[in-house]
A and B are shown apart, each in its own frame.
Chain A
């Protein structure tokens, strides 16, 4: 039962998340138009790179962090069936993160922080940007602590019982985020802020990039885990079936937590400051983290098949047609799966130790992560929002068909946009350029795909606008009294889980495993900057 205090808390988080999403989507539209070169009036590198930086920060950091926090509070209260622990702390976290977002947004929008969303020293942003980004993260740590404490309290009150899967996964994500954010926090606090404030004259770029790589891959799983929670807990139920396996779900979340941390060097394959041995080791672990995702694909497909057969589907594929495609959660689950397969394939190419050279920093990479992040992850956030909205506001959605049109257009928009980007990448177009100026016949081959990109971007912008409209319109409606009670329902497991192995119910041993793996994979690569003679760089404007 969601009490009014939790509902208000969650809705406030979602308002920030989806409000910034709408703003960032408009910027994405501007970027494809600018890049197409079809509208000379729009051409401006200054505006373009400010826009790319803001789009990235809002989408990747603000939308995700606020959505994850809001969703986590709802999950904790509704799956554990206990009141929220430390409501005041949750609000403190919310306001710190909001203040950080506003602080970071000011220099971003003024073009004084055009360092993209990966910070890129020695190009230096205004100090306020780094401080704002740090506060956004600090606020989210309140959420992490609340999740971990609630998990612990529940276990103490229910000795020997299995923690409900959605909460188990949420706690895994809170622990993951604490480990993950440590890398970028060290970079920002010890390197970038003192440097931007002028206390230090130079910065070691190799060290900064290594610390950022620590954060850069597991952060993707921080974003993805809530989407997986929806796939495990909401999709099977919405389809009219059960979750195929609860225990393997736990195993998948643990593998995501443990294996996603020590693999950041696949972002540094083409960098000179790390040796081949460590790159190879990170690369091997990167492939292993595909295992929990493939397990999830099996469990979710099996759960859907179960539901399809319960609904009367027969034959090898008949169950697919029997699924309730007009349920937004089911539709989103299927479309997310499709985009995960395509995006995952691109990811295996990126992660391949030597093959990466072919596509590194080309439009291929933008295509890959827009499929996984914009596609798989955000489409599940959208479906979750449609599911939670009536349960948080007490009002029905304003329409039953608009959400379906919105989800389909989101899928097709990304299908068109990312196909173009993957091809452009293979043809050698770099990502992160605002306009094409290379006076080379090679680049004429890019033109048709640049046009395709504009079409995809247009579809996506309409879809994003529709999403924000549906939520706002539904919020403004009058209560009808016909909506479900303030109750969240999770899928039951096929084989009821009463007792599970302690290793599948808590994280102590896994934290030790992470510490060992991190020490092995990041220990010397970070220490080397203090052991060998390195030369720092002076700051440069944007």
Chain B
């Protein structure tokens, strides 16, 4: 095979650049443990209201027995339930989200809180909000004609002024 010397240099350069990109991705994934929200857990979307975790009275912000903060959310046309939540800044928060009907996507702009919500599966994502403020928690995947109106309000407050959430143990989970 005939390759021009300049061309050969270019190909080496390309391979080095791509190699560097890949090294950065593998480093952050394998060493720093940064992954997209992958969480293979199935659930029956048709009976969320009967489930231990996603029944209507169990949605919202909870403190787990080990002190971590958890938010359970149901996505259903056309809203995220609950419609308003308050969270502390600078603290890890784990969202667990299930869809009651179709495909949705959940996203809080200007933060890295985002995941797809696929019916039949539980989506889980843990994040820390750096700054207090008021954010729309919106649906970013087309889910039907009311899709534009699908959002909840998230208020992030300073850690000290956050009224601690009730413990999940108190409702028998």
Determine whether the beta carbon of B29 is less than 8 Å from that of A434.
Answer: no
A269 CB, min distance to chain B CBs, angstroms: 4
Determine whether the beta carbon of B148 is less than 8 Å from that of A247.
Answer: no
Q: Which of A322-375 contact B (CB under 8 A)?
A: 348, 352-354, 356-358, 360-362
Q: A295-B11, A430-B107 are in contact. Are A270 and B36 (CB under 8 A)?
A: yes
A269, A358, A427, A537 — most chain B CB neighbours (10 Å): A537
Q: A45-B146, A245-B3 are in contact. Are A440 and B28 (CB under 8 A)?
A: no
B18, B25, B36 — most chain A CB neighbours (10 Å): B36
Task: Please tell me which one of the listed residues B18, B112, B121, B140 contacts residue A432 in the complex, with CB atoms under 8 A apart.
Answer: B140
Asked if B2 is at the interface of the complex by the 8 Å CB criterion, the answer is yes
Give the residues in chain B near A114, CB-CB below 8 Å.
145
Which secondary structure dominates chain A's binding surface? loop
Per the bound structure, the CA–CA distance linking A370 and B108 in Å amounts to 24
Determine whether the beta carbon of A442 is less than 8 Å from that of B110.
Answer: yes
A460 CB, min distance to chain B CBs, angstroms: 23
Asked if B135 is at the interface of the complex by the 8 Å CB criterion, the answer is yes
Determine whether the beta carbon of B45 is less than 8 Å from that of A441.
Answer: no
Q: A123-B144, A272-B41 are in contact. Are A247 and B1 (CB under 8 A)?
A: yes
From A293, which residue of chain B is reached at the shortest CB distance? B14
Give the residues in chain B near A274, CB-CB below 8 Å.
38, 40
Give the residues in chain A near B18, CB-CB below 8 Å.
287-288, 290-291
Q: A272-B121, A442-B110 are in contact. Are A433 and B29 (CB under 8 A)?
A: no
Determine whether the beta carbon of A360 is less than 8 Å from that of B107.
Answer: yes
From A497, which residue of chain B is reached at the shortest CB distance? B2
Per the bound structure, the CA–CA distance linking A340 and B105 in Å amounts to 29
Binding stretch for chain B, among A192-200, A278-286, A376-384, A510-518? A278-286
Asked if B55 is at the interface of the complex by the 8 Å CB criterion, the answer is no
From B34, which residue of chain A is reached at the shortest CB distance? A354
Determine whether the beta carbon of B40 is less than 8 Å from that of A275.
Answer: yes
Asked if B143 is at the interface of the complex by the 8 Å CB criterion, the answer is yes
Determine whether the beta carbon of B148 is less than 8 Å from that of A433.
Answer: yes
Asked if B167 is at the interface of the complex by the 8 Å CB criterion, the answer is no
From A365, which residue of chain B is reached at the shortest CB distance? B140
Task: Please tell me which one of the listed residues B118, B141, B151 contacts residue A438 in the complex, with CB atoms under 8 A apart.
Answer: B151
Asked if B132 is at the interface of the complex by the 8 Å CB criterion, the answer is no
Per the bound structure, the CA–CA distance linking A354 and B35 in Å amounts to 6
Give the residues in chain A near B44, CB-CB below 8 Å.
535
A304 CB, min distance to chain B CBs, angstroms: 14
Q: Which of B117-158 contact A (CB under 8 A)?
A: 117-124, 134-136, 138-149, 151, 153
From A429, which residue of chain B is reached at the shortest CB distance? B109
Range of interface residues on A (Cβ < 8 Å): 35 or more
Determine whether the beta carbon of B15 is less than 8 Å from that of A360.
Answer: no
Binding stretch for chain B, among A175-183, A202-210, A395-403, A479-487? A202-210
Give the residues in chain A near B46, CB-CB below 8 Å.
535, 537-538
Task: Please tell me which one of the listed residues B14, B22, B114, B118 contacts residue A295 in the complex, with CB atoms under 8 A apart.
Answer: B14
Determine whether the beta carbon of B14 is less than 8 Å from that of A294.
Answer: yes
B71 CB, min distance to chain A CBs, angstroms: 16
Asked if B72 is at the interface of the complex by the 8 Å CB criterion, the answer is no
Per the bound structure, the CA–CA distance linking A244 and B41 in Å amounts to 53
Determine whether the beta carbon of B77 is less than 8 Å from that of A540.
Answer: yes
Give the residues in chain B near A288, CB-CB below 8 Å.
18
Determine whether the beta carbon of A123 is less than 8 Å from that of B118.
Answer: no
B11 CB, min distance to chain A CBs, angstroms: 7
B144 CB, min distance to chain A CBs, angstroms: 6
Give the residues in chain A near B39, CB-CB below 8 Å.
272
Determine whether the beta carbon of A431 is less than 8 Å from that of B140.
Answer: yes
Per the bound structure, the CA–CA distance linking A360 and B38 in Å amounts to 14
A167 CB, min distance to chain B CBs, angstroms: 20
Q: Which of B9-24 contact A (CB under 8 A)?
A: 10-11, 14-15, 18, 21-22
Determine whether the beta carbon of B25 is less than 8 Å from that of A283.
Answer: yes
Asked if B68 is at the interface of the complex by the 8 Å CB criterion, the answer is no
Task: Please tell me which one of the listed residues A271, A354, A532, A537 contacts residue B45 in the complex, with CB atoms under 8 A apart.
Answer: A537
Determine whether the beta carbon of A116 is less than 8 Å from that of B116.
Answer: no
Per the bound structure, the CA–CA distance linking A441 and B136 in Å amounts to 9
Per the bound structure, the CA–CA distance linking A432 and B116 in Å amounts to 14
From A358, which residue of chain B is reached at the shortest CB distance? B112
Q: A272-B123, A291-B14, A353-B36 are in contact. Are A123 and B115 (CB under 8 A)?
A: no
Per the bound structure, the CA–CA distance linking A400 and B123 in Å amounts to 56
Give the residues in chain A near B101, CB-CB below 8 Å.
122, 537, 540
Per the bound structure, the CA–CA distance linking A495 and B2 in Å amounts to 9
A3 CB, min distance to chain B CBs, angstroms: 36
Determine whether the beta carbon of B135 is less than 8 Å from that of A442.
Answer: yes
Per the bound structure, the CA–CA distance linking A396 and B105 in Å amounts to 51
A sample of 14 more A-B contacts (CB under 8 A), given A268-B116, A357-B114, A360-B114, is A271-B38, A272-B38, A279-B36, A291-B15, A353-B29, A353-B36, A360-B140, A431-B140, A437-B151, A438-B136, A438-B151, A440-B136, A442-B134, A534-B120
Interface residues, chain A, with chain B CB atoms under 8 Å away: 45-46, 49, 114, 116, 120-123, 204-206, 209, 244-245, 247-248, 268-276, 279-280, 283-284, 287-288, 290-291, 294-295, 298-299, 302, 348, 352-354, 356-358, 360-362, 427-443, 495, 500-501, 504, 528, 532-538, 540-542
27 contacts between A and B (CB under 8 A): A116-B142, A120-B103, A122-B103, A204-B120, A205-B120, A206-B118, A244-B7, A271-B38, A272-B124, A274-B40, A290-B18, A348-B21, A352-B25, A353-B29, A360-B105, A361-B141, A362-B140, A427-B110, A430-B138, A432-B142, A442-B135, A443-B136, A528-B40, A533-B42, A534-B120, A535-B45, A537-B46
What are the 10 tightest A-B residue pairs by CB atom distance, in nearest-first order?
A428-B109, A430-B140, A361-B140, A438-B136, A535-B44, A537-B119, A269-B36, A272-B121, A440-B136, A272-B123
Interface residues, chain B, with chain A CB atoms under 8 Å away: 1-4, 6-7, 10-11, 14-15, 18, 21-22, 25-26, 28-29, 34-46, 77, 101-103, 105, 107-110, 112, 114-124, 134-136, 138-149, 151, 153
